Amino acid sequence: MSGSSQLVLPSSTSLHRLLNMPGALLDTTMDQLRTLLTVHETRSALRAARALGREQSSVQKQLDTLNRNFQQLCGEPLVVKQGRGKDVLFTPTGESLVELARDTLAEWLDGIHECRRKLGTTVTVGTTRYMLDTLAKAWHHVADEFRERDVDLKVVHIRTKDIWAKLETQEVDLVCGSVVTRSGAGWDRPEFEVIEWRRGGLALLTNLPETVVGERVRVPALRSVPLVVPGAGLIAEFLRGWFGPDYRQGLDIAAEIDEIQYGISLLRSNLVQGAMIVTSGLGVVASNNELREGGGLRVVELSDDSLERLVGVFARTDELAKHPADHPLNLLWSAFKAEAPRP
């Protein structure tokens, strides 16, 4: 190559596009994108300023800058004022750029979280409402070391129906919760590790008289009992395991609910006559008159030899195996083991 030779890059290369990005686009910051999204959510610069903890003039200045830059880039501003006291109007270009900004910021946040997770600077635990105490006990074992090493423990609420999906997609590193398993059987999902806390069954809460529902009911007899059932979650998994995926077709569904408390209140009001399947632990609380919402309801034993509830802590087997013992994920896992009930 002669001294006067130059390297000429084809215009289609990604490097060429990066080197020739418009200055107006390079001047756009993530903070401006966040402001744009906040204005889109709140529909005014004043409300966005309050949400962001800023002066309205600061937010308006960023909007003016974005409008000026994207007028130059796209031929249309992003936001149009509609007069004092009226919501701002987003142009078609503005709406398109809002979606792009939302995706951009979300991908950056997810990417940073994933980098922190791989390095062990963030451990995310998904837990159901009833397992928070379990997490708190394990946390005491590692809290000092996590703080010393600047490791963040992120706790998110998780529903039973989402346990496996959240673990498989690596949205969480560990899960504290309950799953349905075969009675008396060992753990049969090798892709997941489990620290078993306890196993248990189910019970019924009912406002029906003993002449209709006695003190003990076997699962097949549920077909003749009007039931208050959740649309998803642990109880739905039991029903699916007992009666198949179309269990609603063979059962007398008196009402469908989203949460247990609502079902208890529904039965207590006598607006619905029937029974609701609950965990045996909740049944014990109700039978001891410790369930304030359940006053007046009767607890019935639900007998089942096929399925049971496994309460425990779950993690991906490969994720635990690829890290050394002093990795924060394995430290927390060991903490749970230390707190687990002895067989």
Query: pTM score, two decimals?
Result: 0.67
The per-residue pLDDT for 231 is 84
* Averages of pLDDT over each 10 residues, the chain, 343 residues: 51 75 88 93 91 91 93 91 83 93 88 72 89 93 94 90 89 93 89 94 91 91 93 89 91 90 88 91 66 72 91 95 91 95 80
Task: Give CA–CA dist 40/88, Å, rounded.
Answer: 8
Please identify which residue in the block is written with the tokens 């959240």: 166
What is residue 6's three-state secondary structure? coil
Q: Which runs of E-coded beta strand occur in 72-225?
A: 79-80, 89-90, 122-127, 152-157, 174-182, 192-200, 202-206, 216-218
Confidence (pLDDT) at 1: 45
Q: How far is CA 160 from CA 128, 175, 278, 309, in A?
A: 7, 10, 14, 11
pLDDT tens-place string over residues 92-104 = 999 999 999 999 9
Handedness of CA 289, 294, 295, 300 (dihedral sign): negative
